[in-house]
Structure 1
Amino acid sequence: MKQVNIGGVPEHFNLAWYLTLKNGEYKEENINLRWQDYPDGTGAMCKALRNKEIDMAVILTEGIIKDIIDGNPSKIVQTFVQTPLNWGIHVANNSPYKTIEDLKGTKAAISRYGSGSHLMAYINAENNGWDLKNELNFEIINDLNGAIEGLTNGTADYFMWEKFTTKPLVDNGTFRRIGNCPTPWPCFVIAVREDFIESNKEDLKAILKIINNTTSEFKDIPSIDRTVANRYEQQLPDVQEWLGITEWSQSLIDKKTVTTIQKELHALNIIPEIVSYEKLTYKL
Protein backbone atom coordinates (compact mmCIF):
# COMPACT_ATOMS: atom_id res chain seq x y z
CA MET A 1 0.00 0.00 0.00
CA LYS A 2 1.38 3.40 -1.03
CA GLN A 3 1.84 5.85 1.89
CA VAL A 4 1.06 9.48 1.08
CA ASN A 5 1.56 12.26 3.65
CA ILE A 6 -0.69 15.31 3.50
CA GLY A 7 -0.85 18.43 5.66
CA GLY A 8 -3.54 21.00 6.40
CA VAL A 9 -4.90 23.31 9.07
CA PRO A 10 -7.13 21.66 11.71
CA GLU A 11 -10.12 23.76 10.65
CA HIS A 12 -13.64 23.20 9.36
CA PHE A 13 -12.58 23.68 5.72
CA ASN A 14 -10.79 20.34 5.91
CA LEU A 15 -13.58 18.23 7.42
CA ALA A 16 -14.08 16.49 4.05
CA TRP A 17 -10.57 14.99 4.39
CA TYR A 18 -11.39 13.68 7.85
CA LEU A 19 -14.65 12.12 6.63
CA THR A 20 -13.04 10.37 3.65
CA LEU A 21 -10.20 9.08 5.85
CA LYS A 22 -12.67 7.86 8.48
CA ASN A 23 -14.60 6.00 5.76
CA GLY A 24 -11.40 4.26 4.61
CA GLU A 25 -11.91 5.47 1.03
CA TYR A 26 -8.20 5.86 0.21
CA LYS A 27 -7.37 2.37 1.49
CA GLU A 28 -9.87 1.00 -1.05
CA GLU A 29 -7.54 2.46 -3.70
CA ASN A 30 -4.51 0.90 -1.98
CA ILE A 31 -3.39 4.30 -0.66
CA ASN A 32 -2.44 4.88 2.99
CA LEU A 33 -3.16 8.62 3.23
CA ARG A 34 -1.71 10.05 6.45
CA TRP A 35 -3.08 13.43 7.55
CA GLN A 36 -0.88 15.81 9.54
CA ASP A 37 -2.39 18.86 11.29
CA TYR A 38 -0.50 22.15 10.92
CA PRO A 39 -2.13 24.56 13.41
CA ASP A 40 0.54 27.18 12.66
CA GLY A 41 -0.58 27.24 9.04
CA THR A 42 0.89 27.96 5.63
CA GLY A 43 4.48 28.87 6.52
CA ALA A 44 4.91 25.59 8.41
CA MET A 45 3.42 23.58 5.53
CA CYS A 46 5.70 25.27 2.97
CA LYS A 47 8.66 24.22 5.12
CA ALA A 48 7.30 20.65 5.44
CA LEU A 49 6.92 20.37 1.64
CA ARG A 50 10.49 21.60 1.13
CA ASN A 51 11.79 19.12 3.74
CA LYS A 52 9.77 16.24 2.20
CA GLU A 53 7.94 15.70 5.49
CA ILE A 54 4.70 15.82 3.49
CA ASP A 55 3.93 15.06 -0.14
CA MET A 56 0.96 17.38 -0.49
CA ALA A 57 -0.73 20.23 1.37
CA VAL A 58 -4.09 21.99 1.53
CA ILE A 59 -2.64 25.46 1.73
CA LEU A 60 -3.40 29.17 1.34
CA THR A 61 -3.18 30.21 -2.31
CA GLU A 62 -1.10 33.35 -1.86
CA GLY A 63 1.28 31.63 0.57
CA ILE A 64 2.19 28.73 -1.69
CA ILE A 65 2.50 31.00 -4.76
CA LYS A 66 5.03 33.12 -2.85
CA ASP A 67 6.93 30.04 -1.68
CA ILE A 68 7.08 28.37 -5.12
CA ILE A 69 8.52 31.61 -6.51
CA ASP A 70 11.00 31.54 -3.59
CA GLY A 71 12.15 28.07 -4.65
CA ASN A 72 9.72 25.54 -3.16
CA PRO A 73 9.77 22.63 -5.67
CA SER A 74 5.99 22.13 -5.61
CA LYS A 75 3.05 22.82 -7.91
CA ILE A 76 -0.61 23.71 -7.44
CA VAL A 77 -2.69 20.84 -8.84
CA GLN A 78 -6.18 22.06 -7.87
CA THR A 79 -8.19 24.75 -6.13
CA PHE A 80 -9.71 23.32 -2.94
CA VAL A 81 -11.92 26.17 -1.68
CA GLN A 82 -13.13 28.51 -4.43
CA THR A 83 -14.49 31.30 -2.24
CA PRO A 84 -12.36 33.95 -0.49
CA LEU A 85 -11.18 33.50 3.08
CA ASN A 86 -12.75 35.93 5.50
CA TRP A 87 -9.94 37.17 7.71
CA GLY A 88 -11.08 38.71 11.00
CA ILE A 89 -8.94 41.50 12.45
CA HIS A 90 -8.71 40.86 16.19
CA VAL A 91 -7.44 42.72 19.24
CA ALA A 92 -7.37 41.69 22.90
CA ASN A 93 -10.70 42.28 24.63
CA ASN A 94 -9.20 44.94 26.92
CA SER A 95 -7.25 46.61 24.09
CA PRO A 96 -7.63 50.40 23.66
CA TYR A 97 -7.94 49.93 19.86
CA LYS A 98 -11.48 50.27 18.52
CA THR A 99 -11.07 50.65 14.74
CA ILE A 100 -8.74 49.40 12.00
CA GLU A 101 -7.40 52.96 11.68
CA ASP A 102 -6.28 52.80 15.34
CA LEU A 103 -3.96 49.91 14.38
CA LYS A 104 -1.85 51.98 11.98
CA GLY A 105 1.81 51.66 13.05
CA THR A 106 1.12 49.02 15.72
CA LYS A 107 2.40 45.44 15.80
CA ALA A 108 0.68 42.61 13.90
CA ALA A 109 0.93 39.11 15.37
CA ILE A 110 1.89 36.65 12.60
CA SER A 111 2.41 32.90 12.71
CA ARG A 112 5.67 33.25 10.74
CA TYR A 113 7.09 35.24 7.81
CA GLY A 114 5.52 34.10 4.53
CA SER A 115 2.39 32.88 6.31
CA GLY A 116 -1.17 33.93 5.48
CA SER A 117 -1.35 36.14 8.57
CA HIS A 118 1.83 37.91 7.39
CA LEU A 119 0.70 38.40 3.76
CA MET A 120 -2.82 39.49 4.76
CA ALA A 121 -1.41 42.14 7.10
CA TYR A 122 0.09 43.69 3.94
CA ILE A 123 -3.22 43.43 2.07
CA ASN A 124 -5.05 45.07 4.99
CA ALA A 125 -2.44 47.83 5.24
CA GLU A 126 -2.71 48.52 1.52
CA ASN A 127 -6.53 48.52 1.69
CA ASN A 128 -6.31 51.23 4.34
CA GLY A 129 -3.64 53.35 2.66
CA TRP A 130 -0.91 52.78 5.24
CA ASP A 131 2.79 53.32 4.60
CA LEU A 132 3.97 49.71 4.21
CA LYS A 133 7.55 50.50 5.24
CA ASN A 134 6.83 52.54 8.34
CA GLU A 135 3.35 51.62 9.55
CA LEU A 136 3.55 47.82 9.47
CA ASN A 137 5.37 45.90 12.22
CA PHE A 138 5.37 42.20 13.09
CA GLU A 139 5.68 39.86 16.05
CA ILE A 140 6.00 36.10 15.38
CA ILE A 141 3.58 34.11 17.58
CA ASN A 142 3.57 30.68 15.77
CA ASP A 143 -0.10 29.76 16.16
CA LEU A 144 -3.48 30.68 17.63
CA ASN A 145 -2.38 29.96 21.20
CA GLY A 146 0.62 32.19 20.65
CA ALA A 147 -1.71 34.93 19.40
CA ILE A 148 -3.89 34.66 22.51
CA GLU A 149 -0.80 35.03 24.69
CA GLY A 150 0.75 37.80 22.56
CA LEU A 151 -2.38 39.97 22.40
CA THR A 152 -3.25 39.41 26.05
CA ASN A 153 0.21 40.36 27.36
CA GLY A 154 0.71 43.18 24.81
CA THR A 155 3.72 41.88 22.85
CA ALA A 156 1.50 42.26 19.75
CA ASP A 157 -1.48 44.49 19.08
CA TYR A 158 -3.66 42.74 16.50
CA PHE A 159 -4.02 39.36 14.85
CA MET A 160 -5.58 38.34 11.52
CA TRP A 161 -7.03 34.83 11.24
CA GLU A 162 -10.04 33.18 9.60
CA LYS A 163 -13.02 34.73 11.38
CA PHE A 164 -15.07 31.59 11.97
CA THR A 165 -12.09 29.76 13.48
CA THR A 166 -11.55 32.61 15.95
CA LYS A 167 -15.26 33.25 16.62
CA PRO A 168 -15.30 31.12 19.83
CA LEU A 169 -12.49 33.36 21.17
CA VAL A 170 -14.58 36.44 20.36
CA ASP A 171 -17.64 34.84 21.99
CA ASN A 172 -15.75 34.04 25.20
CA GLY A 173 -14.22 37.52 25.48
CA THR A 174 -10.58 36.67 24.69
CA PHE A 175 -10.57 38.72 21.47
CA ARG A 176 -12.61 41.57 20.02
CA ARG A 177 -13.03 41.59 16.25
CA ILE A 178 -12.81 45.13 14.91
CA GLY A 179 -12.94 44.41 11.19
CA ASN A 180 -12.75 41.92 8.34
CA CYS A 181 -10.41 41.56 5.36
CA PRO A 182 -11.46 38.99 2.75
CA THR A 183 -8.85 37.59 0.35
CA PRO A 184 -9.63 38.83 -3.17
CA TRP A 185 -9.16 35.29 -4.61
CA PRO A 186 -9.89 31.57 -3.94
CA CYS A 187 -8.43 30.81 -0.53
CA PHE A 188 -7.19 27.21 -0.46
CA VAL A 189 -5.40 25.12 -3.09
CA ILE A 190 -3.88 21.65 -3.10
CA ALA A 191 -0.11 21.77 -3.68
CA VAL A 192 2.08 18.74 -4.32
CA ARG A 193 5.85 18.26 -4.47
CA GLU A 194 7.08 18.02 -8.07
CA ASP A 195 9.00 14.80 -7.51
CA PHE A 196 5.88 13.20 -6.02
CA ILE A 197 3.74 14.29 -9.01
CA GLU A 198 6.24 12.78 -11.45
CA SER A 199 6.25 9.33 -9.85
CA ASN A 200 2.70 9.09 -8.41
CA LYS A 201 0.27 10.58 -10.95
CA GLU A 202 -2.30 7.77 -10.70
CA ASP A 203 -2.33 7.79 -6.89
CA LEU A 204 -2.71 11.56 -6.95
CA LYS A 205 -5.62 11.36 -9.39
CA ALA A 206 -7.28 8.75 -7.15
CA ILE A 207 -6.88 10.96 -4.05
CA LEU A 208 -8.33 14.00 -5.83
CA LYS A 209 -11.24 11.98 -7.19
CA ILE A 210 -12.18 10.80 -3.69
CA ILE A 211 -11.94 14.23 -2.03
CA ASN A 212 -13.76 15.92 -4.95
CA ASN A 213 -16.65 13.46 -4.71
CA THR A 214 -17.09 14.49 -1.07
CA THR A 215 -16.62 18.26 -1.46
CA SER A 216 -19.03 18.41 -4.42
CA GLU A 217 -21.79 17.03 -2.16
CA PHE A 218 -20.49 18.36 1.17
CA LYS A 219 -23.42 20.67 1.94
CA ASP A 220 -25.91 17.84 1.27
CA ILE A 221 -24.43 15.53 3.94
CA PRO A 222 -27.19 15.03 6.56
CA SER A 223 -26.69 17.27 9.65
CA ILE A 224 -23.32 18.48 8.34
CA ASP A 225 -23.86 21.81 10.13
CA ARG A 226 -24.14 20.02 13.48
CA THR A 227 -21.11 17.83 12.73
CA VAL A 228 -18.99 20.93 11.99
CA ALA A 229 -20.32 22.78 15.06
CA ASN A 230 -19.55 19.87 17.39
CA ARG A 231 -16.16 18.96 15.99
CA TYR A 232 -14.81 22.54 15.84
CA GLU A 233 -16.67 23.90 18.91
CA GLN A 234 -18.59 26.45 16.86
CA GLN A 235 -22.05 27.94 17.33
CA LEU A 236 -24.59 26.38 14.94
CA PRO A 237 -25.69 29.75 13.41
CA ASP A 238 -22.02 30.61 12.69
CA VAL A 239 -21.51 27.26 10.95
CA GLN A 240 -24.68 27.76 8.91
CA GLU A 241 -23.48 31.22 7.86
CA TRP A 242 -20.07 29.76 6.91
CA LEU A 243 -21.63 26.92 4.88
CA GLY A 244 -23.80 29.50 3.10
CA ILE A 245 -20.81 31.50 1.83
CA THR A 246 -18.28 28.70 1.18
CA GLU A 247 -17.86 26.86 -2.13
CA TRP A 248 -15.41 24.05 -2.79
CA SER A 249 -13.74 23.51 -6.14
CA GLN A 250 -12.85 20.42 -8.14
CA SER A 251 -10.73 22.11 -10.81
CA LEU A 252 -7.35 23.77 -11.29
CA ILE A 253 -7.01 27.49 -10.49
CA ASP A 254 -7.19 29.52 -13.72
CA LYS A 255 -4.45 31.60 -15.31
CA LYS A 256 -6.23 34.94 -14.84
CA THR A 257 -6.59 34.42 -11.07
CA VAL A 258 -2.95 33.39 -10.71
CA THR A 259 -1.90 36.55 -12.58
CA THR A 260 -4.12 38.74 -10.36
CA ILE A 261 -2.61 37.25 -7.17
CA GLN A 262 0.94 37.67 -8.45
CA LYS A 263 0.33 41.29 -9.46
CA GLU A 264 -0.96 42.04 -5.96
CA LEU A 265 1.95 40.29 -4.23
CA HIS A 266 4.45 41.97 -6.56
CA ALA A 267 2.98 45.41 -5.95
CA LEU A 268 3.43 44.82 -2.20
CA ASN A 269 7.06 43.65 -2.73
CA ILE A 270 6.15 40.23 -1.31
CA ILE A 271 7.43 38.48 -4.46
CA PRO A 272 10.40 39.68 -6.54
CA GLU A 273 8.90 38.84 -9.94
CA ILE A 274 5.82 37.56 -11.77
CA VAL A 275 6.38 34.05 -13.14
CA SER A 276 4.58 31.93 -15.71
CA TYR A 277 1.36 30.06 -14.93
CA GLU A 278 3.17 26.80 -15.79
CA LYS A 279 5.83 27.39 -13.11
CA LEU A 280 3.14 27.49 -10.44
CA THR A 281 0.57 24.92 -11.61
CA TYR A 282 0.38 21.37 -12.93
CA LYS A 283 -2.65 20.00 -14.77
CA LEU A 284 -3.14 16.31 -14.08
Structure 2
Amino acid sequence: MGITIAGFETRSIGVADGVELNAAIGGQGPAVMLLHGFPETHLMWRHVAPILAERHTVVCPDLRGYGASGKPEAVAAGTYSKRTMAADIVALADALGFDRFVLVGHDRGGHVAFRAGLDHPDRISHLGILDIVPTLDTWNVLHGVGAAVAFHLYLMAQPPGLPEQMIADSAEAFFGHFLDVWSTSPAAIPADVRAEYLRASRDAVASIVADYRATATIDIDHDQADLDAGNRLTMPVTVVQQDWGRQLGFDATAIWRPWAPDLAHFTTGAGHFMAEEAPEDIATLILNLMKR
Protein backbone atom coordinates (compact mmCIF):
# COMPACT_ATOMS: atom_id res chain seq x y z
CA MET A 1 0.00 0.00 0.00
CA GLY A 2 1.36 3.42 -0.94
CA ILE A 3 1.53 6.62 1.06
CA THR A 4 -1.86 8.04 2.04
CA ILE A 5 -3.24 11.09 3.81
CA ALA A 6 -4.08 10.05 7.36
CA GLY A 7 -7.81 9.56 7.86
CA PHE A 8 -8.68 9.95 4.18
CA GLU A 9 -10.11 7.40 1.77
CA THR A 10 -8.94 7.21 -1.83
CA ARG A 11 -11.40 6.89 -4.70
CA SER A 12 -11.21 6.92 -8.49
CA ILE A 13 -14.05 9.01 -9.95
CA GLY A 14 -14.98 9.48 -13.59
CA VAL A 15 -15.13 13.09 -14.74
CA ALA A 16 -15.05 13.24 -18.56
CA ASP A 17 -14.19 11.42 -21.77
CA GLY A 18 -13.23 8.22 -19.99
CA VAL A 19 -10.92 10.16 -17.64
CA GLU A 20 -10.97 9.28 -13.96
CA LEU A 21 -9.43 11.38 -11.21
CA ASN A 22 -7.78 9.76 -8.23
CA ALA A 23 -8.89 11.65 -5.13
CA ALA A 24 -8.28 11.48 -1.38
CA ILE A 25 -11.43 12.46 0.54
CA GLY A 26 -11.91 13.08 4.24
CA GLY A 27 -13.77 15.06 6.88
CA GLN A 28 -17.30 16.43 7.05
CA GLY A 29 -18.87 19.81 6.39
CA PRO A 30 -18.66 22.43 3.61
CA ALA A 31 -16.50 21.27 0.72
CA VAL A 32 -12.90 22.31 0.08
CA MET A 33 -10.97 21.13 -2.99
CA LEU A 34 -7.14 21.22 -2.88
CA LEU A 35 -5.18 21.01 -6.16
CA HIS A 36 -1.51 20.02 -6.21
CA GLY A 37 1.43 21.42 -8.14
CA PHE A 38 4.47 20.17 -10.08
CA PRO A 39 6.24 17.80 -9.68
CA GLU A 40 3.92 16.53 -6.96
CA THR A 41 0.67 14.66 -6.44
CA HIS A 42 -2.25 15.16 -4.06
CA LEU A 43 0.13 14.01 -1.29
CA MET A 44 1.50 17.55 -1.06
CA TRP A 45 -1.61 18.32 1.04
CA ARG A 46 -0.95 15.52 3.56
CA HIS A 47 -0.41 17.97 6.43
CA VAL A 48 -2.89 20.70 5.47
CA ALA A 49 -5.83 18.46 4.57
CA PRO A 50 -6.31 16.84 8.02
CA ILE A 51 -6.36 20.28 9.66
CA LEU A 52 -9.10 21.48 7.31
CA ALA A 53 -10.96 18.17 7.64
CA GLU A 54 -11.74 18.99 11.28
CA ARG A 55 -14.45 21.35 9.94
CA HIS A 56 -14.81 20.56 6.23
CA THR A 57 -15.12 17.84 3.66
CA VAL A 58 -11.72 17.98 1.96
CA VAL A 59 -11.05 16.57 -1.50
CA CYS A 60 -7.48 16.27 -2.81
CA PRO A 61 -7.43 14.97 -6.41
CA ASP A 62 -4.53 14.17 -8.65
CA LEU A 63 -4.96 16.44 -11.66
CA ARG A 64 -5.59 15.00 -15.10
CA GLY A 65 -2.23 13.75 -16.33
CA TYR A 66 -0.67 13.44 -12.88
CA GLY A 67 -0.37 10.88 -10.12
CA ALA A 68 -2.89 8.04 -10.36
CA SER A 69 -5.40 10.02 -12.42
CA GLY A 70 -6.14 9.41 -16.09
CA LYS A 71 -3.56 10.48 -18.64
CA PRO A 72 -5.31 10.78 -22.01
CA GLU A 73 -3.18 11.28 -25.08
CA ALA A 74 -2.99 14.95 -26.06
CA VAL A 75 -4.83 14.49 -29.35
CA ALA A 76 -6.17 18.07 -29.37
CA ALA A 77 -4.97 21.46 -28.18
CA GLY A 78 -7.56 21.43 -25.43
CA THR A 79 -6.83 18.01 -23.95
CA TYR A 80 -4.67 19.57 -21.24
CA SER A 81 -5.91 23.14 -21.38
CA LYS A 82 -6.64 24.60 -17.97
CA ARG A 83 -10.23 24.99 -19.16
CA THR A 84 -10.49 21.23 -19.61
CA MET A 85 -8.70 20.51 -16.35
CA ALA A 86 -10.95 22.98 -14.51
CA ALA A 87 -13.99 21.25 -15.99
CA ASP A 88 -12.63 18.00 -14.54
CA ILE A 89 -12.66 19.56 -11.08
CA VAL A 90 -16.21 20.83 -11.44
CA ALA A 91 -17.29 17.39 -12.68
CA LEU A 92 -15.61 15.86 -9.63
CA ALA A 93 -17.60 18.20 -7.40
CA ASP A 94 -20.76 17.18 -9.26
CA ALA A 95 -20.01 13.51 -8.70
CA LEU A 96 -19.54 14.15 -4.98
CA GLY A 97 -22.69 16.26 -4.70
CA PHE A 98 -21.07 19.65 -4.04
CA ASP A 99 -22.96 22.58 -5.57
CA ARG A 100 -20.45 25.14 -4.27
CA PHE A 101 -17.00 24.67 -2.85
CA VAL A 102 -13.82 26.41 -1.81
CA LEU A 103 -11.01 25.83 -4.30
CA VAL A 104 -7.30 26.16 -3.51
CA GLY A 105 -4.53 25.41 -5.98
CA HIS A 106 -0.75 25.36 -5.82
CA ASP A 107 1.51 25.86 -8.85
CA ARG A 108 -0.12 23.87 -11.73
CA GLY A 109 -3.16 23.44 -9.57
CA GLY A 110 -3.18 27.20 -9.11
CA HIS A 111 -3.52 27.70 -12.85
CA VAL A 112 -6.38 25.19 -12.93
CA ALA A 113 -8.04 26.92 -9.99
CA PHE A 114 -7.66 30.33 -11.64
CA ARG A 115 -9.35 29.06 -14.80
CA ALA A 116 -12.10 27.38 -12.78
CA GLY A 117 -12.77 30.67 -11.00
CA LEU A 118 -13.22 32.45 -14.32
CA ASP A 119 -15.20 29.70 -16.05
CA HIS A 120 -17.36 28.54 -13.12
CA PRO A 121 -17.87 31.50 -10.76
CA ASP A 122 -21.25 30.16 -9.64
CA ARG A 123 -19.61 27.01 -8.27
CA ILE A 124 -16.65 28.41 -6.39
CA SER A 125 -17.33 30.38 -3.22
CA HIS A 126 -13.72 31.26 -2.36
CA LEU A 127 -10.48 30.88 -4.31
CA GLY A 128 -6.95 30.35 -2.99
CA ILE A 129 -3.82 30.45 -5.16
CA LEU A 130 -0.33 29.45 -4.02
CA ASP A 131 2.82 30.76 -5.69
CA ILE A 132 1.88 31.67 -9.25
CA VAL A 133 0.75 34.61 -11.31
CA PRO A 134 -1.89 34.06 -14.02
CA THR A 135 -0.71 32.33 -17.18
CA LEU A 136 -0.86 35.41 -19.37
CA ASP A 137 1.12 37.42 -16.83
CA THR A 138 3.65 34.64 -16.30
CA TRP A 139 4.93 35.00 -19.84
CA ASN A 140 4.84 38.79 -19.64
CA VAL A 141 7.03 39.03 -16.53
CA LEU A 142 9.72 36.57 -17.64
CA HIS A 143 12.59 38.38 -19.34
CA GLY A 144 16.36 38.55 -19.44
CA VAL A 145 18.57 36.23 -17.41
CA GLY A 146 15.95 36.19 -14.63
CA ALA A 147 13.81 34.01 -16.87
CA ALA A 148 16.36 31.21 -16.44
CA VAL A 149 14.49 30.20 -13.27
CA ALA A 150 11.66 29.13 -15.58
CA PHE A 151 13.73 27.26 -18.17
CA HIS A 152 11.34 24.30 -17.91
CA LEU A 153 8.47 26.44 -19.20
CA TYR A 154 10.38 27.14 -22.40
CA LEU A 155 11.55 23.56 -22.78
CA MET A 156 8.07 22.08 -22.46
CA ALA A 157 6.60 24.73 -24.75
CA GLN A 158 8.47 23.21 -27.70
CA PRO A 159 6.65 21.05 -30.30
CA PRO A 160 6.00 17.41 -29.35
CA GLY A 161 8.95 15.07 -29.50
CA LEU A 162 12.16 16.60 -28.21
CA PRO A 163 10.94 17.75 -24.75
CA GLU A 164 9.38 14.38 -23.99
CA GLN A 165 12.52 12.52 -25.09
CA MET A 166 14.93 14.76 -23.18
CA ILE A 167 12.90 14.60 -19.97
CA ALA A 168 12.20 10.86 -20.17
CA ASP A 169 15.91 10.18 -20.66
CA SER A 170 16.79 12.00 -17.44
CA ALA A 171 13.48 11.95 -15.57
CA GLU A 172 14.80 11.46 -12.05
CA ALA A 173 17.39 14.21 -12.41
CA PHE A 174 14.92 16.56 -14.12
CA PHE A 175 12.05 16.26 -11.65
CA GLY A 176 14.40 15.94 -8.68
CA HIS A 177 16.05 19.23 -9.65
CA PHE A 178 12.85 21.15 -8.88
CA LEU A 179 12.26 19.34 -5.60
CA ASP A 180 15.77 20.41 -4.60
CA VAL A 181 16.05 23.99 -5.79
CA TRP A 182 12.49 25.15 -5.03
CA SER A 183 12.60 24.12 -1.38
CA THR A 184 14.00 26.07 1.56
CA SER A 185 13.44 23.09 3.88
CA PRO A 186 14.48 19.77 2.29
CA ALA A 187 13.25 17.82 5.31
CA ALA A 188 9.69 18.91 4.45
CA ILE A 189 9.69 16.35 1.64
CA PRO A 190 10.96 13.12 3.26
CA ALA A 191 12.57 10.37 1.25
CA ASP A 192 9.47 8.22 0.84
CA VAL A 193 7.35 11.14 -0.38
CA ARG A 194 10.12 12.32 -2.69
CA ALA A 195 10.37 8.81 -4.15
CA GLU A 196 6.63 8.78 -4.78
CA TYR A 197 6.75 12.18 -6.52
CA LEU A 198 9.60 10.99 -8.74
CA ARG A 199 7.90 7.69 -9.57
CA ALA A 200 4.62 9.42 -10.42
CA SER A 201 6.40 12.01 -12.58
CA ARG A 202 8.46 9.41 -14.47
CA ASP A 203 5.21 7.66 -15.33
CA ALA A 204 3.60 10.88 -16.62
CA VAL A 205 6.21 12.63 -18.76
CA ALA A 206 4.02 12.95 -21.85
CA SER A 207 1.00 14.32 -19.99
CA ILE A 208 3.04 16.68 -17.83
CA VAL A 209 4.68 18.13 -20.95
CA ALA A 210 1.26 18.43 -22.59
CA ASP A 211 -0.02 20.34 -19.57
CA TYR A 212 2.88 22.80 -19.77
CA ARG A 213 2.66 23.06 -23.56
CA ALA A 214 -0.97 24.16 -23.20
CA THR A 215 0.24 26.95 -20.92
CA ALA A 216 2.28 28.34 -23.82
CA THR A 217 -0.55 28.04 -26.34
CA ILE A 218 -4.28 27.63 -25.77
CA ASP A 219 -4.23 28.80 -22.14
CA ILE A 220 -2.83 32.16 -23.23
CA ASP A 221 -5.69 32.52 -25.70
CA HIS A 222 -8.26 31.81 -22.99
CA ASP A 223 -6.71 34.31 -20.57
CA GLN A 224 -6.46 36.99 -23.23
CA ALA A 225 -10.10 36.50 -24.21
CA ASP A 226 -11.19 36.96 -20.60
CA LEU A 227 -8.99 40.01 -20.18
CA ASP A 228 -10.40 41.59 -23.33
CA ALA A 229 -13.97 40.79 -22.29
CA GLY A 230 -13.51 42.25 -18.82
CA ASN A 231 -14.10 38.92 -17.06
CA ARG A 232 -12.71 38.83 -13.54
CA LEU A 233 -12.67 36.61 -10.46
CA THR A 234 -15.83 37.59 -8.60
CA MET A 235 -15.27 35.58 -5.41
CA PRO A 236 -12.93 36.42 -2.50
CA VAL A 237 -9.39 35.49 -3.53
CA THR A 238 -6.33 34.84 -1.38
CA VAL A 239 -2.93 34.62 -3.08
CA VAL A 240 0.18 33.47 -1.19
CA GLN A 241 3.57 33.76 -2.87
CA GLN A 242 7.25 33.81 -2.26
CA ASP A 243 8.69 37.25 -2.85
CA TRP A 244 10.06 36.27 -6.25
CA GLY A 245 8.44 39.27 -7.87
CA ARG A 246 11.27 41.35 -6.47
CA GLN A 247 13.85 39.09 -8.12
CA LEU A 248 12.12 39.34 -11.50
CA GLY A 249 11.27 43.00 -11.17
CA PHE A 250 7.50 43.03 -10.82
CA ASP A 251 4.87 43.78 -8.20
CA ALA A 252 2.88 40.57 -7.69
CA THR A 253 0.01 42.28 -5.88
CA ALA A 254 -0.35 44.77 -8.72
CA ILE A 255 -0.51 41.90 -11.21
CA TRP A 256 -3.21 40.07 -9.26
CA ARG A 257 -5.40 43.07 -8.40
CA PRO A 258 -6.92 43.59 -11.89
CA TRP A 259 -7.94 39.93 -12.00
CA ALA A 260 -9.25 39.72 -8.44
CA PRO A 261 -10.97 42.85 -7.07
CA ASP A 262 -11.61 41.12 -3.70
CA LEU A 263 -7.97 40.20 -3.13
CA ALA A 264 -5.88 39.39 -0.07
CA HIS A 265 -2.23 38.96 -1.08
CA PHE A 266 0.47 37.58 1.21
CA THR A 267 4.16 36.73 0.88
CA THR A 268 5.78 33.88 2.78
CA GLY A 269 9.26 33.06 3.93
CA ALA A 270 8.67 29.40 3.06
CA GLY A 271 9.84 27.98 -0.23
CA HIS A 272 7.74 27.04 -3.22
CA PHE A 273 6.49 23.89 -1.47
CA MET A 274 4.88 26.00 1.22
CA ALA A 275 2.04 23.60 2.02
CA GLU A 276 4.68 21.07 3.05
CA GLU A 277 7.13 23.51 4.63
CA ALA A 278 4.60 25.62 6.57
CA PRO A 279 1.34 23.61 6.64
CA GLU A 280 -0.13 25.26 9.73
CA ASP A 281 0.33 28.71 8.19
CA ILE A 282 -1.24 27.64 4.89
CA ALA A 283 -4.16 25.96 6.67
CA THR A 284 -4.76 29.14 8.67
CA LEU A 285 -4.72 31.28 5.52
CA ILE A 286 -7.26 28.95 3.91
CA LEU A 287 -9.50 29.01 6.96
CA ASN A 288 -9.30 32.82 7.04
CA LEU A 289 -10.16 32.95 3.34
CA MET A 290 -13.38 31.05 4.09
CA LYS A 291 -14.44 33.70 6.59
CA ARG A 292 -14.44 36.51 4.02
TM-score interval, smaller chain: 0.3 to 0.5
Higher strand share: 1
- Between the two structures, name the one with larger relative contact order (CA 8 Å, sep ≥ 6): 1
TM-score, structure 1 normalization: 0.34
